[in-house]
């Protein structure tokens, strides 16, 4: 019996990573060997191999589609393959790793060439210490005979930015920063964190210390039997991130703005809904008009002003500001927010805010690259020149060129939506619903949600009702399907269905992604049909939603939903339709989670 250790990894770190790991475990068990598998992916490193595990191993299997740090396996026999190889023929890989197989010894760590170091430096002001620390690390690496690339995160944005290829090649990551730095890019890499002062004082000493003390980022603190099975919510969150990976920069910048905008929209919408509830309780049916001046000073009217004038008044500036921030870093924030505020003044709403954000971002980015100053005067750029020139350019464009035409377009769109008949509204609801279920948290889902949320500022509440109903349907349908059609799902999926149900009632569509990743051709069409039905019924019935999030919990707030009975019908109808389709399209599975194939007819004996 051989003791084997393995590492599996794929670019997204979800489906193929875990499928390859499970295939290797089953093949090893069938062959009478033991195997311990470390998975590296977007949810971090799970069931990390310890030094003792590696020392006791007879062989190592690396089933990976991305670069793996092999230095810790020096001297061990190694089998290299892709995750597809492990999924399709794990038994062959186990056979190669077993004694007498064709595994080859790993090259000693020293044979891999000079160490390649990457790093990030940052300080609160982003000027002097940031660049001095970068120079210290680069000089220290050169002194040790290593190569280095250091990204500076300063007040004028990121400089010498690390590319995915730089990070893939890196043997060591050094973070010399006095502010918080996002380390998500370095999952699976050996990372050492310190301040800027040690890097300025002696960069070579910092790198030597990093070699001795760096730890693998994202590795679990402990292994354990459960470490190889990350919880369902973590898988869903990671799947959401992977769906947004590789999208165009335009989408990434827009989603940065939307993600920062959403808390304002949600808080404002819920406060408005609570204000209506209080108004109805105090003044009966007329309380729905709690926003009128005659109710000034009442609790309901005050809450309405906080939500409508406070939170809703800020969401367009925040949207524009963080779009610009995503493009040009901190210097773009002020011009972007001011441009978003001017979008409100000109009546161009969220459409004007999006345009203002992109204008501010690219104008400030151009100014950052075009204005060259001596290093002693660099501090003037982020504090004086960029905010002034960026705001001036964006402000003039919004007031004299963009504001009025976009305001007219938004008014036309609002009038058209408010004048839709039942049939046309149903078709729009079906389209929004299908988009919500198509990629469940990806670009198309977010496009439908952003469109619907943006219309809240124009007091158009139908599309957001349709998108929330349609977004709740996919995980709810999978929860119901795992109860009604258990034989169509693996044991793990049946357990995960419970978590999907909780995510569904909370309006977290991403709860359906792990199921769709395993069987996309059957699951995604089933979910799209149900979500389209939910969206169509909601829009055709005239359901309106004043709170853009919250799932089923919002339904208990009086007047938060107009035509509540039909809204509940829409959610239930979409859920049932998707559940039935899942039961019809998915195939029954055996005890091992494999599709049941009927035995072929036995051949008839010629003598008979």
Reduced to 3 states (helix: H, G, I; strand: E, B; else coil), residue 168 is: helix
| Count of C-beta atoms within a 10 Å radius of residue 135 | 15
Whole-angstrom distance, CA of residue 46 vs CA of residue 225: 10
Burial class of residue 427, CB neighbours in 10 A (0-12, 13-18, 19+): middle
DSSP string, 312-353: HHHHHHHHHHHHHHHHH-GGGHHHHHHHHHHHHHHT-HHHHH
Burial class of residue 313, CB neighbours in 10 A (0-12, 13-18, 19+): middle
| Count of C-beta atoms within a 10 Å radius of residue 125 | 15
Whole-angstrom distance, CA of residue 273 vs CA of residue 256: 26
| Count of C-beta atoms within a 10 Å radius of residue 209 | 15
CB 79 within 8 A of CB 103: yes
Which residues are the active-site residues? Answer: 123
| Neighbouring-strand partners of residue 274 | none
463's tokens: 């599309």
Whole-angstrom distance, CA of residue 538 vs CA of residue 319: 28
Pairing of β 147-154 and β 157-159: antiparallel
Tell me how far apart the terminal alpha carbons of the chain are, to the nearest angstrom: 48
């Amino acid at each position: 019996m051989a003791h084997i250790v393995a590492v599996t990894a794929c670019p997204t770190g979800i489906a193929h990573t875990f499928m390859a790991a499970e295939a290797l475990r089953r093949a090893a068990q069938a062959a009478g060997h033991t195997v311990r598998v470390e998975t590296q992916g977007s949810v971090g490193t799970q069931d990390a191999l310890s030094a003792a595990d590696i020392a006791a191993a007879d062989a190592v299997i690396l089933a990976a589609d991305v670069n793996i740090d092999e230095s810790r396996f020096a001297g061990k026999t190694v089998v290299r393959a892709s995750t597809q190889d492990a999924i399709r023929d794990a038994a062959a890989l186990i056979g190669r790793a077993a004694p007498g197989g064709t595994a080859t010894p790993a090259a000693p760590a020293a044979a891999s060439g000079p160490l390649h170091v990457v790093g990030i430096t940052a300080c609160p002001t982003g000027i002097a210490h940031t660049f001095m620390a970068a120079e210290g690390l680069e000089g220290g690496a050169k002194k040790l005979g290593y190569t280095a690339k250091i990204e500076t995160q300063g007040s004028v944005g990121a400089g010498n930015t690390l590319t995915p290829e730089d990070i893939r090649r890196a043997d060591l990551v050094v973070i010399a920063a006095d502010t918080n730095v996002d380390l998500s890019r370095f999952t699976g890499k050996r990372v050492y964190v310190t301040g800027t002062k040690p890097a300025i004082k002696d960069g070579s000493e910092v790198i030597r210390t990093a070699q001795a003390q760096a730890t693998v980022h994202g590795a679990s603190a402990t292994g354990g039997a459960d470490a190889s099975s990350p919880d369902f919510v973590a898988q869903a969150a990671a799947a959401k991130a992977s769906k947004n990976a590789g999208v165009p920069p335009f989408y990434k910048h827009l989603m940065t703005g939307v993600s920062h905008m959403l808390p304002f929209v949600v808080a404002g919408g819920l406060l408005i809904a609570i204000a209506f509830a209080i108004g109805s309780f105090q003044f009966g049916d007329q309380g729905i008009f709690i926003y009128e001046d005659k109710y000034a000073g009442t609790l309901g009217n005050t809450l309405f002003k906080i939500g409508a004038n406070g939170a809703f008044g800020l969401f367009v500036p925040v949207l524009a500001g963080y779009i610009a921030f995503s493009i040009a870093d901190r210097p773009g924030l002020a011009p972007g927010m001011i441009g978003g505020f001017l979008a409100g003044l000109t009546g161009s709403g969220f459409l004007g805010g999006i345009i203002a954000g992109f204008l501010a971002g690219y104008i400030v980015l151009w100014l950052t690259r075009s204005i060259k100053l001596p290093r002693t005067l660099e501090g003037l750029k982020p504090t004086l020149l960029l905010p002034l020139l960026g705001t001036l350019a964006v402000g003039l464009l919004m007031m004299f060129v963009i504001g009025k035409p976009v305001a007219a377009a938004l008014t036309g769109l609002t009038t058209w939506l408010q004048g839709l008949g039942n049939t046309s509204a149903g078709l729009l609801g079906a389209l929004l619903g299908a988009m919500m279920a198509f990629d469940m948290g990806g670009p198309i889902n977010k496009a439908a949600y952003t469109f619907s949320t943006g219309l809240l500022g124009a007091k158009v509440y139908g599309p957001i009702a349709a998108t929330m109903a349609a977004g709740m349907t996919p995980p709810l349908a999978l929860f119901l399907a795992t109860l009604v059609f258990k034989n169509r799902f693996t044991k793990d999926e049946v357990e995960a269905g419970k978590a999907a149900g909780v995510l569904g009632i909370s309006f977290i569509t991403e709860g359906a992604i792990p199921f769709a990743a395993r069987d996309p051709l059957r699951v995604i069409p089933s979910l799209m049909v149900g979500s389209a039905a939910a969206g169509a019924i909601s829009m055709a019935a005239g359901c309106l939603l004043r709170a853009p999030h919250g799932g089923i919990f919002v339904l208990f707030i009086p007047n938060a939903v107009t035509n509540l009975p039909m809204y509940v019908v829409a959610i239930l109808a979409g859920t049932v339709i998707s559940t039935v389709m899942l039961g019809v399209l998915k195939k029954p599975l055996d005890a091992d989670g494999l599709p049941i194939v009927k035995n072929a007819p036995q051949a008839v004996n010629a003598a008979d």
